[in-house]
Amino acid sequence: MDQAQTLRDYMHRFHDQQEQKPLSRIITITSGKGGVGKSNFSLNFALALKEFGKKVVILDLDLSTANINILMGIRPRYSLADVLYQRKSIWDVIEQGTFGIEYIAGGLEMEDLSKIDQTKVLLFLSQLQELQTYADFILLDTGAGISKELVDFILASDETILVTTPEPTSIADSYAVMKTVLRYTSQTPTFFLVVNRARSYLEAVETSRAMKNASSKFLKMPLKTLGFLMEDEHIYKSVKSQMPFLIAYPKCSASKSIKEIAYSYLPDVNRTSSVSTKGLHGFFEKILSLGKSS
């Protein structure tokens, strides 16, 4: 039996053993447009979920711009690339963030994965499999732009949170993300909306209404609004001091809102399907097979 087959058998056995435990739920956080507050949202949403007793790992897939690790004031030593090239195990690349949030730097282009030899990829997947019942939630923070890779991430996730500001450019880009994703699937992916940087409650409501109307009218897609974050200078201050705003300013408007968002998200997840059907291993398996078929 070749090595790849042995690994595949191992992974199936592992999967059967793990079937009883719930898989980590994978949430992609995206926007199309850059600089709208995705990374700040991801980190503080993770912290809010943690306050509700959930275990959260952030996987940083934004390879191009400033990362979550800077917002936490940590410097990751390793990344998923080290796992892929067998320099480190999956447990070595999980950084213990200072605020109880665990963090993995992506550090690899997904298209690289489809060019790599199969045994390496299977080893990589078996490493990810070890992690798949480890956390309640794995948040994927993505970069700017609407690429085929982003579409793959969204289709492989359990759900997606769109972070949108009231600016028409941001609304247009978030809409474009949904529209592009629908071009690649006949299913109805789950999208949630978070409006960020609204100057007034009315502006937030109008933004949410514009997104919902466009989504139901032109895409025939339901879009649930999780909540609003107002323009809040505490976010700017927290970025400067490299402390998440939920920790540095727990009583500020953004902190109150992010807790409400986590609070409204959790029962929603339980209502739809509390058990992830994908998990982190399934996520990457899907990315790889999608990558090959396209």
DSSP 3-state of 3: helix
Between 8 and 237, whose beta carbon lies closer to ligand ADP? 237
Query: In sequence order, which ranges of the chain are alpha helices (DSSP H)?
Result: 3-18, 38-51, 68-72, 80-84, 90-93, 110-113, 118-131, 148-156, 168-183, 201-218, 233-240, 245-248, 253-273, 279-293
CB 227 within 8 A of CB 257: yes
The single residue among 157, 164, 174, 196 that binds ligand ADP, judged by CB under 6 A, is 196
Cβ 156 to Mg ion shortest distance, Å: 20
**Interaction between residue 231 and ligand ADP (CB under 6 A):** yes
Cβ 216 to Mg ion shortest distance, Å: 28
Q: Which long-range contacts (CB under 8 A, 24 or more apart) does 89-93 make?
A: 89/127, 90/127, 90/128, 90/130, 90/131, 91/130
**Interaction between residue 36 and ligand ADP (CB under 6 A):** yes
**Interaction between residue 69 and Mg ion (CB under 5 A):** no
CA 238, distance to chain mean position in Å, is 21
**Interaction between residue 267 and ligand ADP (CB under 6 A):** no
Cβ 36 to ligand ADP shortest distance, Å: 4
**Interaction between residue 34 and ligand ADP (CB under 6 A):** yes
**Interaction between residue 37 and ligand ADP (CB under 6 A):** yes
Counting Cα atoms < 13 Å in the Cβ hemisphere of 139 gives 28
Burial class (CB in 10 A: 0-12, 13-18, 19+), 210: middle
Site string for ligand ADP, 197-226 (x = CB under 6 A): x-----------------------------
Position of minimal CB gap to Mg ion: 39
Q: Which stretch binds ligand ADP (CB under 6 A): 34-42, 78-86, 116-124, 152-160?
A: 34-42
Between 132 and 170, whose beta carbon lies closer to ligand ADP? 170
DSSP characters over 190-218: -EEEEEEEESSHHHHHHHHHHHHHHHHHH
**Interaction between residue 247 and ligand ADP (CB under 6 A):** no
CB 181 within 8 A of CB 52: no
Q: Which stretch binds Mg ion (CB under 5 A): 33-41, 149-157, 225-233, 275-283?
A: 33-41
Q: Which stretch binds ligand ADP (CB under 6 A): 32-40, 86-94, 126-134, 186-194?
A: 32-40
CA 190, distance to chain mean position in Å, is 13
**Interaction between residue 259 and ligand ADP (CB under 6 A):** no
How would you classify the pairing of strands 191-198 and 95-96? unpaired
Cβ 186 to ligand ADP shortest distance, Å: 30
Contact residues toward Mg ion (CB under 5 A) are 38-39, 62
Contact residues toward ligand ADP (CB under 6 A) are 31, 34-40, 196-197, 229, 231-232, 235-236, 239, 254
